[in-house]
Amino acid sequence: MRKSTFLSAAMLLLPVFNSVSGQELKLNDLDYFETQGVNVLAYSNIFSGGFNDEKNAGIELIHHGVRTAQGGAIRLSNTPEQWDLVPAVSNRKVDKAANSIEVSLRYKDFDFDSRVVVTAKGKAVEIAVYLDKPVPKSLEGKAGFNLEFLPSQYWAKTYLMDGRFNRFPRYAVSNTTTKPNSEKIKQYKGYVTADDRGTGKFVDPLPLETGHTLLLAPDEPGRLVKITSSDADLMLFDGRMLAQNGWYVVRSLLPAGKTGKVLSWIVEPNAIKGWIREPNIGLSQVGYIPAQPKVSVIELDKNDKPLAKASLYKIDEKGTASEVFSGNVVSWGNYYKYHYVKFDFSSVKTPGIYYIQYGNTKTNNFLIDNSVYNWITDATSDVWIPIHMDHMYVKEGYRVWHGEPFKDGYLQAPPNTDHFDLHSQGPTTDTKYKALELIPGLNVGGFFDAGDFDIETGSNISVVENFVQTWEYFKPMRDETFVDEQHRYVDLHRPDGTPDVLQFIEHGTLNLVAQAEKIGHMAQTLSNSVLDNYHHLGDAASLTDNLPYNPNLGPYEIAKDGRSSGVKDDMWAFTSRNPQLDLQAATMFAAASRALKGYNDDLSVRALEQSKRLQKEATELLAKQPNNTTRRGGFGSADVATNLQLYIATGEKQYIDKFQELLWPALDRGVTFGLLTALDAIPHMDAAYKEKLLPYVVKYNEYIKGLEKQNPYGVPIGLGNWAGNGALLSFGTTVCFANKYFPDIVDSSNIYKVSNWLFGCHPYHNYSFVATVGATRPKAVFYGNNRADFSAIPGNVAPGVLFRNPDHFENYDDWPFLWGENEGTIAGNTSYLIFGSVFKNLAK
């Protein structure tokens, strides 16, 4: 009966599959398999090892323009989590003649080697696993081949396993079992990956289905994939049963005691015949002021034929759309995977509601009006930033964003501790505190780093600097947040008579001054001691039990006096001294001391005192280190800013002399890095200084012009494992100030390229990268602390389009869990605040 059902289903689907299928897969010049509409990558991107499984490596499928599958590798669990072990790639060999790619994988911890060979077989690829030695005994029944599929592209679609129909669940609702902890593979350095509450067992998902032929999304040709295996069971799991960022996993266990070719899959992604990606018409979702340049960058499939013209339509008061402008479409050329053309409609200046029509594709509406940029920073300053105020109870209307977190404070991290967020405690504490001793007074002020709840000291330093710069340049009097430091209470949309930015400066400085005073220098981070707490989602106040750990109590026991518990959930301070970080703090403290003077004089005095002390000590420590100019940020470049801020704060000549001594060599080493600091000094220097700076601005302008030839958007585009909006914002702020002081050299048109990118004129899609800004089409999902709700915190700024080797840009607009493209950070969002402030000022 089962065989009959399968054959009937297969025969029904066969004509559909054949009618839409495309050409055979071939290895292209970029060493991945390609046919029109389908790319199969075999370790073009490898597991980094930093956070292990980042959901962007291994064998990957880019299916009709979207990366829908990844993680194809030998894995040690059914549904691997982020910090679970990943194999190292020891060798990758491309054989064009055989139309195959072979990758050698190794688990050093288990002395376990394997080879995965991906070979094009017509419209499919064969994925074969080879072993020279059998699976180690400890991994029998655990090592298998996995391939993971993006849930947001598959939920509510159907699947067939051996002809049995079912539907991918929108929410994780499959079955699980529990197993003894002794059966769990030791994962990332032994960190706890799930709180078993003392049961001694871990949770393991059970498969949704098992069989030999799996069809994914036969009801959606653009996502249809067929996987068959004659020599192994295919198991389908829902990885979200353990973690909200899990994917659907197809898995086959490796057989025990065998060598040679031990596993084979045939994976056939459906290619719609003649498929061409719809044009991505880039535009500013916020809109345009009448006087600015207005250029739409249109991203085209390489098989698409560019049209000669595009049109602009205006919507009148009756809702009628009429064409008001038609202009030539000019080819820019190819950039990585796609072809780019430009549509310039700068001549249209009449205020109104418009949309762009290119062929059969039209955009959503946008505005042309002098007011469009007036509110671009309000959601960030009114909502996102106060929600990320640590050690405070934060309320918005009927909603409590979080209670007061970390009442239990921070313990000294033990020596020789390696942290899962890439921090470490060295062989000593570098403090007067013993391991796991409470460091008093650190649970005050500061800002959550991003989608997690730690205080990254370097980021918080940048945050305060951004606030101070915003305050000193623009004196924003906006007051929409009630802040009560004494009672640790924040209420959104409730004015309290004090400018919000000034209160944010105070809040950030409180924590950083406490670090300097209590520790003696700056901590690397104030973070979680347990991995299960680190990936906590929900109310920050529930991350710990707010009681210090007492080793004399049993697990989860609370002391009779209610002041301690047996829960190992405390936050730790990682205190290994980094004089470079101290120097950055000295810069920030000097700036903060000025802003706080007359508002919180005590904190102002303390900040200046710590600035001078840390600057002196850090300079002495760095001078003793070899090659200090090559360290992160460059010793000389960092000290440039420190001496400038100390001079502005104190007026003492020694600081301005040192600033000038260090500045010019720093600019000679790299004008793109140090120019913004040099521009910040102009209001405090004489005319000769500005004249001496002029050739460096000319050089920077040459760099700006070069970007127009480098990519079609004319802005710096990041190609790392964190998308590039942070560097873009720094670039935009530098261009703004360069135009302010040298308008005859740096043209204002360059500034609008940055705003256009942020608000929708970029690769992959045309959403605004700022949550709720660009009200017609802002990104709706972000990697924030509410990411499990597929939501966003208003004002959040995404890192941007993430580059995947060798030629793919992406920014998931329906899946928030990739932090490299969707996680807004406190440093990035306050960089947006300063850019937005200076941009609005110049746009007027």
Q: Once rounded to an integer, what is the mean pLDDT over residues 789-815?
A: 96
CB atoms within 10 A of CB 775: 13
Residue 193 has a pLDDT of: 47
Q: Once rounded to an integer, what is the mean pLDDT over residues 546-553?
A: 90
Are 247 and 151 in contact by the 8 Å Cβ rule? The answer is: yes
Q: Once rounded to an integer, what is the mean pLDDT over residues 620-628?
A: 81
Q: Which stretch, 20-34, 127-141, 185-199, 614-628, has highest mean pLDDT?
A: 127-141
Cα–Cα dist 436/15, whole Å: 67
Residue 2 pLDDT > 80, yes or no?
A: no
Residue 718 pLDDT > 70, yes or no?
A: yes
Cα–Cα dist 72/155, whole Å: 20
Residue 625 pLDDT > 90, yes or no?
A: no
Residue 99 has a pLDDT of: 97
Q: Look up residue 683 and give its two tokens.
A: 């209001």
Torsions phi, psi of 270, nearest 5? -70, 135
Closest CA to 717 of 45, 706, 634: 706
Helices marked H in 21-123: none
Closest CA to 417 of 563, 544, 233, 574: 574
Cα–Cα dist 732/743, whole Å: 15
Residue 8 pLDDT > 60, yes or no?
A: no
SS3 63: strand
Helices marked H in 624-652: 635-650
pLDDT tens per residue, range 743-766: 999 999 999 999 999 999 999 999
Secondary structure (H, E, C), 501-530: HHHHHHHHHHHHHHHHHHHCCCCCEEEECC
Cα–Cα dist 533/427, whole Å: 25
Same fold, 2-176+209-269 and 280-368: no
Residue 628 pLDDT > 60, yes or no?
A: no
Are 647 and 655 in contact by the 8 Å Cβ rule? The answer is: yes
Are 174 and 205 in contact by the 8 Å Cβ rule? The answer is: yes
Torsions phi, psi of 602, nearest 5? -60, -45
pLDDT tens per residue, range 51-60: 788 899 999 9
Which is it for strands 481-484 and 424-425: parallel, antiparallel or unpaired?
unpaired
pLDDT band at 16, cuts 50/70/90? Answer: very low
Residue 539 has a pLDDT of: 93
Are 671 and 700 in contact by the 8 Å Cβ rule? The answer is: yes
Residue 403, C-beta contacts closer than 8 angstroms, at least 6 positions apart: 393, 539, 540, 541, 542
The phi-psi region of residue 488 (left if phi > 0; otherwise alpha if psi is between -120 and 50; otherwise beta) is left
Q: Of 111-120, 185-194, 665-674, where does mean pLDDT reach its minimum?
A: 185-194
Q: Look up residue 41 and give its two tokens.
A: 């990558």
Q: What average pLDDT is seen over the chain?
A: 93
Q: Once rounded to an integer, what is the mean pLDDT over residues 408-415?
A: 95
pLDDT tens per residue, range 448-483: 999 999 999 999 999 999 999 999 999 999 999 999
pLDDT tens per residue, range 476-534: 999 999 999 999 999 999 999 999 999 999 999 999 999 999 999 999 999 998 888 88
Residue 421 has a pLDDT of: 82
CATH level 2 (architecture), domain 2-176+209-269: Distorted Sandwich (2.70)
Are 429 and 577 in contact by the 8 Å Cβ rule? The answer is: no
Q: Once rounded to an integer, what is the mean pLDDT over residues 242-252?
A: 96
Active site residue ranges = 814, 823
Are 309 and 328 in contact by the 8 Å Cβ rule? The answer is: yes
Residue 49 has a pLDDT of: 66
Residue 190 pLDDT > 50, yes or no?
A: no
Residue 11 pLDDT > 60, yes or no?
A: no
Are 218 and 160 in contact by the 8 Å Cβ rule? The answer is: yes
Residue 535 has a pLDDT of: 85
Q: Running DSSP on this structure, what letter comes out for residue 188? A: G
pLDDT band at 426, cuts 50/70/90? Answer: very high
DSSP 446-506: -B--SSS--EEHHHHHHHHHHHHHHHHHH------EEEETTTTEEEET---SS-HHHHHHH
My answer on whether omega of the bond before 716 falls inside 30° of 0, hence cis, is no
The domain locations on the chain are 2-176+209-269, 280-368, 386-577
Beta bridge partners of 558: 565
pLDDT band at 192, cuts 50/70/90? Answer: very low
Residue 195 pLDDT > 70, yes or no?
A: no
Residue 230 pLDDT > 90, yes or no?
A: yes
Q: Look up residue 307 and give its two tokens.
A: 């049209």
Residue 10 has a pLDDT of: 43
Q: Once rounded to an integer, what is the mean pLDDT over residues 805-831?
A: 96
Are 565 and 555 in contact by the 8 Å Cβ rule? The answer is: no
SS3 565: strand
Torsions phi, psi of 474, nearest 5? -125, -10
Superfamily of 280-368 according to CATH: Immunoglobulins (2.60.40.10)
pLDDT band at 18, cuts 50/70/90? Answer: very low
Cα–Cα dist 51/740, whole Å: 42
Cα–Cα dist 53/687, whole Å: 54
Residue 632 pLDDT > 70, yes or no?
A: no
**If you count them, how many residues does the chain have?**
844
Residue 188 has a pLDDT of: 56
Which is it for strands 571-574 and 410-412: parallel, antiparallel or unpaired?
parallel
Cα–Cα dist 788/816, whole Å: 8
Residue 637 has a pLDDT of: 53
Instruction: Name the residue with tokens 């594709």.
Output: 361
Closest CA to 484 of 517, 465, 456, 506: 506
Are 379 and 771 in contact by the 8 Å Cβ rule? The answer is: yes
Residue 639 has a pLDDT of: 78
Residue 422 pLDDT > 90, yes or no?
A: no
Cα–Cα dist 835/759, whole Å: 13
Q: Once rounded to an integer, what is the mean pLDDT over residues 18-37?
A: 84
pLDDT tens per residue, range 353-373: 999 999 999 999 999 999 999
Are 429 and 415 in contact by the 8 Å Cβ rule? The answer is: yes
Residue 1 pLDDT > 80, yes or no?
A: no
Q: Once rounded to an integer, what is the mean pLDDT over residues 655-684?
A: 93
